Each structure stands twice: as structure tokens, then as C-alpha cells.
Amino acid sequence: MYISRLLFTLLFAVTQRCAAAKPCAVSASQPSNAVCEPFYTTFNFSSYRIANSISQTSPYPPSTSFVALSSIGAYQTTDRGLELYISKPDGEITTTNGTNDKIASGAAVNSTFTLLYGKVTFEVIAPAVPGIITAVILIGDQGDEIDVELLGGDPAHWQTNMFAPRPSDLLPLWGVFGSTEDVPEGKPTIADMHTYTIDWNEDRITWGIDGNTVRTLKKENAINNGEIRYPSHPTRIQMGIWDSSTDAGTSEWGKGPVDWDVAPPYMKAVVKSVTVECN
């Protein structure tokens, strides 16, 4: 789902602060190489470093491949991979009309590099808690977006989506190019480790799970109101976890609001690895 719930492109020089529940869309203040280059990481703690946009300023060291848009305590690299945390808000939480008055702090991590077309594979475990969203996506400074979203309230399915907004759009095209896919039998929920793939070229996008392609969207079919809407700008890799209990529409889509009377006070998503292959 398009997060003008302000979803997050990379910030090299932070000039604004992101909302606690959902990292914000920000643009790079220095150019980056948009050519696809092969890449692989398991976020091994002993050899991997993620810069932090809040506590550090650009330029980051050349070896930095990712930048966190969240506080240092919201994520960690371990021998399991990149762990993204979300925790219960402090104080009493009131639910009204399908939303919560306090929103949990989540986490977001962006790549410092961009790619224009390529195949990106994520190994992910996501919490199966209604209202909690785990997202691994490609996001461009111009708003182009290709999504894999894991809704904790629908753990037997996962969602695919894409956006290619135009300046004339009054609202994001929520759901126009979205689809819901099944999680394979054997490891039947998003709480199991699965491999999610976005394969994007100039003619089509395919999404896959555990090595099997489940959806193909051709550019020629990505039409809204007679106009082709297809991502064509460089994008960054983005991984995040957030609370959908904000406005009523987002909360309903996210199977929220989060019921903190029964939800764990502390949850995490794990990205075990990220692989980039170039066409």
C-alpha cells in the first residue's frame, strides 16, 4: 500500500523527522549510481555496518550500503540477519472508530544505492499480529514503488503492489495495481521464513515466493484512466515494520488496529538476506 502515510526514500542529509509509526518519504541530497549492480548481504554483525540518519550526517563511509531512518534501538544486525523492532506505545491506549490514539514506533532501513531494473530477493520472517505491517519494497525519489507487504492480520497471504504517481494525481492509487497472494503450504504463514522476489524490467514486473513466480504485471496492462502507470525511475531497497492503526482506511487495510491487550509489547521482523541480480 502506498505510504503517503509517508513511506521513506533514503535521506542523506536529514532536514525533517519521520513520524514514529511510519518512516517518511525523503530524497537524497547527493546523486547516486542508478545502474544495477549485483549485491548480497546477510547483515552479519561482525562485518556489517548500517549508518543512522538521525545520529550521523552524510557523507557516510563508502562501505555503507544501508542507512536506518529510525533510532538506533529500533533495529539491529545479528547472526539471524537484520532485525526490525516495533514496541507498544507508553501509557494508556484508546481505540476509537477503528484507530488507536497512540501509534507504535517502528523501523525503516534504506539502501544507499539505487537500481533501475533488476531482481531483488529478500528472506523474511514477519510477526503475525493484526495491525502490524512488514514491508520490503523498492521506492524511488519520484514516488515509484514496487511492494511486498506482509500483513500480520492475514498471515496466510501476502500482498503485492506498485505505484507510479503523476503530479496531477489528487490521491495515491491505493489498490489499483494491488494483489493478494497465497503463502505456500508447508510453511503456511508469514511468520515462517520465506523468500520474496521482485523482478523488474522495462516491460514487466514479476513477484515470487520461495522460487515460484505468482504474479506478472506487464507495462502494457498497467493502465489507469487510459494512462500507463509503470515504475521507470531509479529505486532504493527499503525494509520496514510499522503500525497501521493510524487513520481508519489504513487501519482497516492493515487488519488493525493493534489490540495491545493481547499483542506482544515487543515484536520484530527479520530480514535474513538481500540479494540483487541484474538483468
- The residues carrying an active-site annotation are 145, 149
Burial class (CB in 10 A: 0-12, 13-18, 19+), 259: middle
DSSP lists the bridge partners of residue 135 as: 149, 240
Please enumerate in sequence order all residues whose Cβ is within 8 A of that of 229, keeping only pairs 6 or more positions apart, or say none: 163, 164, 165, 166, 173, 176, 177, 222, 223
DSSP lists the bridge partners of residue 125 as: 270
DSSP lists the bridge partners of residue 124 as: 194, 271
C-alpha angle 263/43/180, rounded to 5°? 50
Cis status, amide bond into 265, omega within 30 of 0: no
Among the listed residues 72, 68, 131, the one whose alpha carbon sits nearest the alpha carbon of residue 104: 131
